[in-house]
A = this chain, B = another copy of it.
Amino acid sequence: MAAGTKGVARAEREAQIVEVACRVFGEHGYAATSVADVAAAAGISKPLIYQYFGSKDGLYVAALRAAAAVLVGEIERTAALGAVGIDRAVVTLDGMFRVLADRPWLWRLVFDATAPREGEVAAVLAEHEQRLVVLGSDGVGDLLALVGNTDPDDLSALRAVWENTFRTLVGWWLDHPDVTPEAMSARCQRLFAVVLSGSVP
Contacts and interface: CB of A to CB of B under 8 A. Distances in A.
A167 B163 CA distance: 12
A6 to B, nearest CB: 36
**Size category, A interface:** 35 or more
Interface string A168-186: 1101100010010000000
A119 interface: no
A153 B192 CA distance: 14
B195 A196 contact: yes
Interface string A7-37: 0000000000000000000000001000000
A149 interface: yes
Contacts of A179: 153
Nearest to A163: B168
Nearest to A156: B172
Interface string A139-170: 00001101101000110111011011101110
Given A160-B172, A172-B160, A147 B201 contact: no
